[in-house]
Chain A
Amino acid sequence: MKKGMKNLMAGILAAAMLTGAGQMVMAEDTIKVGMVTFDSGADAYQSAYYDTMLSHAKELGVEIQLLDPAGDATKQQNMVQDLIGMACDVIIIWPANSETAIAEVKACSEAGIPVVAANTDVAEEGQEYVTCFVGPSNRLEGQNAGEAMVEEIGTDAKIVEISNMAGYTASIERMGGMHDAIEDTDIEILDSQPGEANREKAQQVMENYLVKYAPGEIAAVFCYDDTTAYGALNALEADGRDDVLVFAAAAGNYETINYVKNGKIRAISMQSPIIDATTTLDVAVNVAKGEAPAEYLNFIETPAVSQSNIDEIELEAW
């Protein structure tokens, strides 16, 4: 038995040396990108983002270590520690929580690894440790879709809103952008209830609006994402009402293009996970090469589409 133990120890030692040697051989010039996502299995947008990251890394010829904390902020923090241990050249973080990400970016900066914040920005206190942010501008999405709405319904109309979850940063910013777009008009928001980014809940909210406001009283309903807009459309169709037009701030589902083509959703900003992921990885690879972008905020393109221009805008399906 004693001999067996000795052999075992020798085995472990040999293994240690082998892996050590292996690492030395592996140390080449390929750029190693580490990334923690938010919750890649949660929705179509995030899983397309995940897949695009992998395929685009292959196209660029960089090594990528892509970890998914499934929405758990503490798990994400541990994963960032693991990425630091793997000596990545750059780390991309899609914060599971903007505040707890402060500690994550601080740890990277202490280890001397540059950080790119993706899709959602780190809270202000942590931004000094971040090289740059790449992602959609929620404010612009709201504003562009809002302006498209003003173009269609005119500057003097009454509308209702279906908001998203309270405290959800993206939704607050989109709302800010939309309200900017109608600030100088006489458009009045009669009602604003939360749809919680949930189709069924949004449908309920819309049904209540339709009972409350008779035909002709409201010109449009503004939603803050496409899932909410689907719910609102369902309620309108069930009631046979076509006097209320549906607008929405931003779309993450590719399916939404069909709703725009047949005019059900009048205008919306399209946010493509493919553009989001490829732009982010391109910027991160540049950062690893020492070519950081000049600006801190790097917004991806999120074109506002409507029935009239949808055919001109080319978006790869996801």
Chain B
Amino acid sequence: MKNNRFKTFISNNTIVPIMVIVLVFAAFVVPGFLNVGNIFNVFNQNAMKGIMAIGMTFLIINGYFDMSLCTLVGLTAALSCGLQESLGTVPAVLIALLAGAAVGLINGILVSYVGINAFVVTLAMMMGCHGIAYIYHKEQSFVARSEAFIHFGTGKIGPFSYISILFLLLLVIGHFVLRYTDYGRSTYAIGGNAAAAFNAGINTKLVTCMNFVVCGFLSGLGGVLYACYAGASTPALGWPDMHMLVIAAVVLGGTKLSGGSGNVWYTLGGIMLLGIIDNIMNLLNVQTYVSTMVNGLIMIGVLCLDKVMMAKQLKKANLEG
């Protein structure tokens, strides 16, 4: 019985055995990997990306994804740094977060109410935000003036940075919303089968639109946090592949790109796995392009493994039924 439960757990969470393999490999082969400081270092480094990935998880469970993330982070980082001097830190951050949510709202309206393909809408938005960020920056970088703003980006409580504590908090909130609220359950339902969800009386358009807003808001927050972390903003922040890394982490974790299944803990696993691989490559002094290639290979491997395990499970279920 226990044995069975363990097996089911593993096949539902392919990220766990893979993480174990990578960790064991790293512990043996990579000098300096297995010390507490380094593990927390990886977690803290990837907290910003993790926060954005939570929003992306909501949207992917809903059956869509958002490419505008990669330039939206540059835009909100720019606003949060650039407006500090004229408006003060708090209003600057609020405006940046609002801008993130607004971009998400536009995406949501165009996709769910106007009915344009999400790929095209968010791609167009990506270009739009890129342009605005560059125009606003005038190709220069902005340095954050507020001490509190910078302190939030680099400060720590124990081994956890403030940003990673925020990440943990958002993970718990994300889990709660997805699991225990009507809104969360509707998200799963729409991703699983939008027509059935509509027939069941779910306002599919509104929920989808809201998930775009959630994704936009958290992307915007990610941008602001990157600006805190770096103490400055550059127009190139996030460009050209931040959205891809975030989507990769979500999918690597085990959330299905086709929608309807997944959770934020998978995403935590995906983010950590990508982060750990990067860290290992750096510790081993491997050239950047090799490490990028390894990331790709691991992703294909994980997804194949996932498919094989799912097929096994389905076959078994069919036999038992």
Are B230 and A12 in contact, with the CB atoms below 8 A?
A: no
Residues of A within 8 A of B35 (CB): 20
The segment out of B24-32, B110-118, B302-310, B312-320 that lies at the interface is B24-32
With a cutoff of 8 Å between Cβ atoms, the chain A residues found around residue B23 in the complex are: 12
Main secondary structure of the interface of B (DSSP, over half): helix
Nearest CB on B from A63, distance (A) = 10
Most buried by A among B35, B150, B154, B232: B232
State the CA gap A20–B28 with chains docked (Å): 10
The answer to whether A19 and B31 have CB atoms under 8 Å apart is yes
Report A1-17 residues with CB < 8 Å from chain B CB.
Answer: 1-2, 8, 11-12, 15-16
How many residues of chain B get a CB closer than 8 Å to chain A's CBs? 46
**CA of A102 to CA of B144, assembled, Å:** 11
Kindly state whether residue B200 has any CB partner on chain A within 8 Å. no
CB distance from B162 to the nearest CB of A (A): 14
Report if A26-B31 is in contact (Cβ < 8 Å); known contacts: A8-B20, A73-B230. Answer: yes
Known: A12-B24, A77-B230. A68 touches B288 (CB 8 A): yes
Chain A residues with CB below 8 A from B229, complex form: 74, 77, 103
Closest to A26 in B: B31
Cβ of B197 under 8 Å from chain A? no
Query: Cβ of A100 and Cβ of B282 under 8 Å apart?
Result: no
Asked whether B38 is an interface residue with its Cβ less than 8 Å from the other chain, the reply is yes
Expressed in whole angstroms, the Cα–Cα distance for A74 and B222 within the complex equals 12
Stretch at the interface among B88-96, B133-141, B174-182: B133-141
Q: Which residues of B contact A278 (CB under 8 A)?
A: none
Query: Interface-forming stretch among A79-87, A113-121, A255-263, A305-313?
Result: A79-87
Q: B139 — which chain A residues lie within 8 A by C-beta?
A: 165-167
A-contact 0/1 string along B119-135, CB 8 Å cutoff: 00000000000000000
Question: B138, A167: Cβ atoms under 8 Å?
Answer: yes
- B36-80 with Cβ < 8 A to chain A: 37-38, 41, 44-45
- What's the least CB distance linking B100 to chain A, in Å? 17
Asked if B86 is at the interface of the complex by the 8 Å CB criterion, the answer is no
B286 and chain A: residue at smallest CB distance: A67
Q: How far is the CA of A68 from the CA of B153 in the complex (A)?
A: 23
Shortest Cβ distance from residue A101 to the other chain B in the assembled complex, whole angstroms = 9
Min C-beta distance of B44 to chain A, whole Å: 8
Cross-chain contact A99 with B288 (CB below 8 angstroms) = no
A46 within 8 Å of B by Cβ? no
Residue of A nearest to B240 (CB): A72
Please tell me which one of the listed residues B142, B238, B282, B288 contacts residue A70 in the complex, with CB atoms under 8 A apart: B288
Q: Is A125 an interface residue (CB 8 A)?
A: yes
Given the complex, which residues of A lie within 8 Å of B294, measured CB to CB?
none
Residue of B nearest to A18 (CB): B28
Residue numbers in A under 8 Å from B31 (CB-CB): 19, 22-23, 26
Write out, one digit per residue, whether chain B residues 277-306 have a CB within 8 A of any chain A CB (1) or not (0): 011001101011100000000000000000
Chain B CB within 8 A of A154 CB: no
At the interface, yes or no: A78 with Cβ under 8 Å from chain B? yes
Task: Chain B residues near A77: list those with CB within 8 A.
Answer: 229-230
Residues of B near A40 (CB, < 8 A) are 288
Q: Report whether A86 and B283 are in contact in the complex, using a CB–CB cutoff of 8 Å.
A: yes
Q: Is the interface of A mostly helix, strand, loop or mixed?
A: helix
User: A67 and B6: CB pair below 8 A?
Assistant: no
B38 to chain A, nearest CB (A): 5
Q: Closest residue of chain B to A76, judged by CB?
A: B230
* Contact in complex: A74, B6 (CB < 8 Å): no
Contact A73 B231 (CB under 8 A): no
Question: How far, in Å, is B51 (CB) from chain A's closest CB?
Answer: 14
Say whether, besides A68-B287, A82-B283, A103-B153, A125 and B143 are in contact (CB < 8 Å): yes
Query: Judging by beta carbons under 8 Å apart, are B154 and A19 in contact?
Result: no
**Chain B hits for A103, CB < 8 A:** 150, 153-154, 229-232
Choice from A16, A22, A97, A166 contacting B141 with Cβ under 8 Å: A97
Determine the chain A residues whose CB is within 8 A of the CB of B3 once the complex forms. 1
**30 A–B contacts, CB within 8 A, in A order:** A1-B6, A2-B2, A8-B20, A12-B27, A16-B34, A19-B30, A19-B32, A22-B31, A23-B31, A65-B285, A66-B285, A70-B288, A70-B289, A73-B237, A79-B282, A81-B41, A81-B45, A82-B41, A83-B282, A86-B32, A97-B141, A97-B232, A99-B142, A99-B232, A100-B231, A100-B232, A103-B150, A103-B232, A107-B154, A165-B139
List 9 additional contacts besides A20-B35, A23-B31, A99-B141; criterion CB under 8 Å: A2-B2, A16-B34, A19-B32, A19-B33, A20-B34, A41-B289, A74-B237, A85-B41, A123-B232
